[in-house]
Structure 1
Amino acid sequence: MATVLQQVQGVLWMWVVLAAGVALLAGVLRSPRFKGWWGERKVQQWLARDLNPLHYHCVHNVTLRLADGKTTQIDHVVVSPYGLFVLETKHMQGWIFGSEKQKKWTQSIYRHRTAFQNPLHQNWLHIMALQQVLQVPLQHLHSVVVFTGHSHFKTEMPACVTQGRDCVAFIQSHTEVVWTEQEVAQWRQALSQKRLQATRATHRAHVENVRARHAAPRPKVPSGKTAGAAVSAPVPVAAPIALRSTEPELCTEPVLRTEPFAPLVPQPAPLHAADCPQCGSNLVHRSLPDAEGASRYFWRCARFPHCRFMRAELPEVV
């Protein structure tokens, strides 16, 4: 009898350990860090498999230090006679809503919606960093956003926003030779010298740098301001350029745009800011895209999710 009981206990312990291992593995596979690594790994394989190594030279996980001491990390850089291609990878599922000039895009999985930074704006900062560090002419820098995973675009996307291996076709669509082989070798050497060493210590330092920037205290809003004014701090608008709009060209050649850009999504002015009727906290202005991708604005309690009061934006009284 004791032997049978010991065998049953051994089987139970084996199932407990197996279940714990499966749960741990599932947690790792669902973590943002693993998803990001997996997406970058897939893009790296596509570039190595489909691009001719005699003409295209791929560099991955490039960390650069800027003049102000901050760091930026680029997923992939492709150096070629046709220019420098800067790739930003997004490994996501579900439906993707967004446009070139929206500040935030939306991921929708059934009824769950999550806002994330417009990857075109994120990659534009990478391009500006490369231009600052390497002094590469902006007209020879090309932005490429690659979505991996089982995601589907539900709004029209610019040509430089690609799905899966389409990123290779977009790179190969640039056929105008702008650099000689000697110049390509010089840009490769300059990138190798300027990038920080690709180690775990470099990655951890970059993550801490990003956290420090996001943890920096925001400027206090003076009393008497409306709730909508507390959403974002004022941003200085750059002087207009006679040749083009003040907004950057995120997918086309940005040669005529060299100064920092202003916010790309004009937000409507607050109409009826007030205190939350449930808890008395401030109301903040928010928006979500509808099924057609148009922004729908509403007011939400600043203590969300502790207070779930929401109110649709009221029409302006004439």
Structure 2
Amino acid sequence: MANPIRDRSMSHLRGWFGEICTRLGLWFWLPSRTYRQFHNIVVPTSNGTTQIDHLIVSTYGLFVIETKNMKGWIYGNEQDSQWTQKFRGTSYRFQNPLKQNYRHLCCLEEHLGLPRTCMHSIIFFIGEAELKTPMPGNVLTHGLSSYIRRHREPLLSEQDVEQIIAAIQELKRDRTLNHATHMASLADRHSSTTRCPKCGSDLIERQSKKGDHPGSTFLGCKSYPRCRFTRQLSQEP
């Protein structure tokens, strides 16, 4: 019989172990004089907070890494809002990590005042995951450090790097920016009826023109079509 508490504990343990393995691999293969590493950074923004798994700072840019500790087959593409994991005959849905990491880049852009052209988004699947659909080159199941080292075009000056490091260290020293406050911010952001949880733009009331319920109203992001977030309005009893 399934034990939800045990399953959650094992999931957290696997996630923790995967993060430790990722840190060790980055520490071993990336020279610290060239690549400064930060982990589990909570970044405040005008639209709540975001939490970044790993951030590598160098003159070759900022490498923003979202890790996923999963087994089985992974299906998805850049446009899907959710991807699918198939493991032991069961399918699970999870947020598209490319879109998830895109928010991380936007938050860093806002907080650091840097253009996203100086940043590299990387999705790294830890464990025994197999990508079953064509994926962009920045979605990896191995070779994370090698992928980072292949970027050799300087995008930032040494002075830029020092300023970024100082800003990230300031975030790490702020005791109010922790996992608990981030989870509270996440809950507030996803329950908001005025702000888009994906991009921070206003939510406005729209009317469905087709589909199963034409004429019904819903909340949609003001930045459509750049952002396609929608939320159903609660129906009055």
Tell me whether 1:42 sits opposite 2:21 in the alignment.
yes
Equivalent residues in 2 for 1:1-318, closer than 5 Å: 27=7, 29-31=9-11, 33-68=12-47, 70-164=48-142, 166-195=143-172, 197=174, 202-216=178-192, 227=212, 233-237=219-223, 261-263=226-228
Higher strand share: 2
Measure the CA separation in 2 of the matches of 1:181 and 1:223: 51
Assess, with a 3 A threshold, how the Cα gap between structure 1 residues 80 and 223 changes in structure 2: closer, same or farther: closer
* Residue pair 1:61, 1:198 contacting (<8 A) in 2 also: no
Give the partner amino acid of 2:50: T
Give the deviation of 1:99 after TM superposition. 1.0
- Gaps spanning 5+ residues in structure 2: where? 195-203, 230-234
% same residue? 32
TM-score, length basis structure 2: 0.79
Contact 1:65 1:196 in 2 (8 A): no
Give the TM-score of the pair, scaled to structure 1.
0.60
- TM-superposed CA distance for 1:263, in Å, is 2.7
Using the TM superposition, give the Cα deviation of residue 43 of structure 1 relative to its aligned residue in structure 2, in angstroms.
1.2
- Cα distance between partner residues in 1 of 2:173 and 2:191: 24
Alpha-carbon distance in structure 2 between the residues aligned to 1:82 and 1:224: 47
Matches of 1:146 and 1:231 in 2, distance apart? 38
Residue identity opposite 2:19 in structure 1: E
Structure-2 separation of matches of 1:174 and 1:206: 31
CA distance in 1, matches of 2:58, 2:228: 32
Which is bigger in relative contact order (C-alpha 8 A, separation at least 6)?
2
Q: Secondary structure at the match of 1:84?
A: strand
CA distance in 2, matches of 1:181, 1:58: 15
Question: In structure 2, what is the Cα distance between the partners aligned to 1:180 and 1:43?
Answer: 27
| Counterpart-to-counterpart distance in 1, 2:190 and 2:88 | 30
CA distance in 2, matches of 1:198, 1:176: 35
Q: State how many pairs are aligned.
A: 218
State how far apart, in whole Å, the 1-side matches of 2:132 and 2:102 are: 23
Contact preservation (8 Å) 2:207, 2:218: no
